[in-house]
Amino acid sequence: MSRILITYEKKDNTVDVILNSFSRLFLEMGLDYRIAKSSKVNDNDLRWCDVCFSIRPNSLYSQEIAEAADKNGIFYLASFDDDLLNLPKKRPDYWKRKYSISCLKRARAIISSSPLILEDYSSYCYNAKLLLLNAFVEESDIRSIHNIEDPIRIVYPAGKDHLPQFNQFIKPIISDLFNQFSGRIDMTFIGIEPDINDFKYKDSVHFVKQMSYEKYKQYMQTHDFDIGIAPLSKTSFNERKYFVKYIEYSKYGILGLYSDTYPYKYVVDNNENGILVPDSPDAWKNAIVRVMNDHSIITDIVKRSQAHLREHFTIQSEALKILSICPEIKSYSKSIIHKKKYNKPIISTLLYIFSDFVRKVIYHLRWDGVKYIVEFLRNKNC
C-alpha cells in the first residue's frame, strides 16, 4: 500500500474542500496519508512517502518538493482546479506560473476537474497520466428539501474576485427585483460585500463574513436558502474553473441559477438540474422573476439535482475512476534508497518570501486600500 503525502500552498475554502475530499477518498481506499503545507514539508516527510500529491503547486517550495520527489523515486502528482498558468496579469500570483510549470514537468500524473486544463497542461510533461475527477458527495452531506415559502431567500457565496461579475449581471437588476417583489424576496451575501449603499431595501439584504469551510458547511446546513446564483463571465480563465457551486447548491437543497457557460455547461442540463442564464442583466432578471412566480420550479429542479449527485458524485465512483487510470496511487512503492536530502535553499527562499510579500502588498494597496494593508500586515505579524 502506498503512503501518500498531500501538500498544499495555503488554506482557503476551495483547498479545504479538496483536502477534505481526498482525505476521505484515501481513507475509503485504506491508504495512509499525511497533510502538510508545502513551506513546512521536511526531509522526513519525503523519506516516509511513496506518493506525493501536490494541490495547486505554484511556489518555490513546491518546485523543490517536486525535484526531490523526482530524484528519490517518489510518484509525483500535481492537482489543478484553477488555471494557474494563465492567471490575469494583475493578480499577485501571476509571476509564480514558472513554479507550476516546473512541477508539471516532473509530474507522473495530473489531476483536474477541468478537461480543458488537462488538455492544456499535458503538453508540459511527457506521458503523464491524466485524471479528470469530481468532488464527491456522501448521503450524509445532502440536505433534505425544505418547504418553499415567502420570502424567497437568495444566496451568493463568493470571493471578492467575483464582485465584477455581480456588478455586471446582478447589481443592475437588484432594485427592480426588490421593487417588484417587495417583502417576498431576501438576499444573503457570504464572503463579499457589494457596494449597494443607496439600496432602500437594506433590511432584506444580509452580509455574512467569509468563514472556514467547516463553519460554512454548518451555516448552510442550518439555513433554508431557496435560490443560489452563480454569475460568471465568459473568459478562457473562467471556463477552466470548477463547477463547485453546482455541487454546493444541490446538496444544500438550493436551486442553482448559473451563467450559460463552461464549466457549468459540463454538468447542468438546463431546466432539469439547474437553470442556465444567458449573459445579460435582463436574462438574469427574467430567470429570477420566473422562479419567483412559480415556486414549484425550485422543488422540482432540486429533486433532480440531488438525484444527479447521488448517481454521479459518489466516493465509490471516484475511487474506481482513480484506480482504473492511476493504480500507482494505491500500489506504488518507491524502489530506490533516498538519494537526495530535501533542504530548502536559504538565499533563494528568502528572496522568494520577499518577492511574494511585496507583490501582495502592492496588489492589496491598489485594489483594497490602506485599511486592508494594515490588517494584512497585522495578520502577517509584521
pLDDT, one tens digit per residue, over 110-162 is 999 999 999 999 999 888 999 999 888 989 999 999 999 999 999 999 987 88
pLDDT, one tens digit per residue, over 316-338 is 888 999 999 999 999 999 877 76
Instruction: Please state, rounded to an integer, the average pLDDT across all residues of the chain.
Output: 91
- Here the cell at position 62 is 513546491
Same domain membership, residue 268 and residue 338: no
The pLDDT confidence band at residue 345, using thresholds 50, 70 and 90, is: confident
CA distance between the termini of the chain: 44
Same domain membership, residue 249 and residue 224: yes
Same domain membership, residue 125 and residue 198: no
pLDDT, one tens digit per residue, over 274-311 is 999 999 999 999 999 999 999 999 999 999 999 999 99
Same domain membership, residue 225 and residue 271: yes
Q: Residue 381: pLDDT above 60?
A: no
Same domain membership, residue 86 and residue 36: yes
How far is 335 from 304, CA to CA, in rounded Å? 48
Same domain membership, residue 330 and residue 283: no
Same domain membership, residue 290 and residue 156: yes
pLDDT, one tens digit per residue, over 71-89 is 999 999 999 999 999 988 8
Contacts of 148 (CB under 8 A, 6+ apart): 226, 295, 298, 299
The position carrying cell 439555513 is 223
Nearest CA to 246 out of 226, 270, 220, 273 is that of 273
The residue from 312, 331, 359 where one domain ends is: 312
**Mean pLDDT of the region 52-78:** 95
| pLDDT recorded at residue 363 | 79
| pLDDT recorded at residue 201 | 76
| pLDDT recorded at residue 382 | 41
Same domain membership, residue 127 and residue 17: yes
Instruction: Name the least confident of 33-37, 222-226, 342-346.
Output: 342-346
- Here the cell at position 294 is 412559480
Contacts of 320 (CB under 8 A, 6+ apart): none
Write the CA distances from 264 to 116, 230, 310, integer angstroms.
Answer: 13, 9, 18
How far is 231 from 158, CA to CA, in rounded Å? 10
| pLDDT recorded at residue 76 | 97
**Mean pLDDT of the region 223-246:** 94
The pLDDT confidence band at residue 9, using thresholds 50, 70 and 90, is: very high
* pTM of the shown model: 0.86
| pLDDT recorded at residue 32 | 95
**Mean pLDDT of the region 331-346:** 81
Same domain membership, residue 198 and residue 97: no
| pLDDT recorded at residue 379 | 63
Same domain membership, residue 189 and residue 130: no
How far is 257 from 260, CA to CA, in rounded Å? 9
Q: How many CA atoms lie within 13 A of 167 on its CB side?
A: 10
Q: In what order do the strands lie in the sheet with 275-277?
A: 205-208, 185-190, 152-157, 227-230, 255-259, 275-277
pLDDT, one tens digit per residue, over 249-262 is 999 999 999 999 99
Query: For the domain that residue 79 is a member of, what is the CATH number?
Result: 3.40.50.2000
Same domain membership, residue 207 and residue 87: no
Q: Tell me if 224 sits within 8 A of 146, measured CB to CB.
A: yes
Choose between 343 and 73: higher pLDDT: 73
How far is 283 from 173, CA to CA, in rounded Å? 10
Nearest CA to 53 out of 29, 34, 27 is that of 34
Structural domain that includes position 382: 350-382
The residue from 291, 312, 333 where one domain ends is: 312
Same domain membership, residue 14 and residue 130: yes
Domain count within the chain = 3
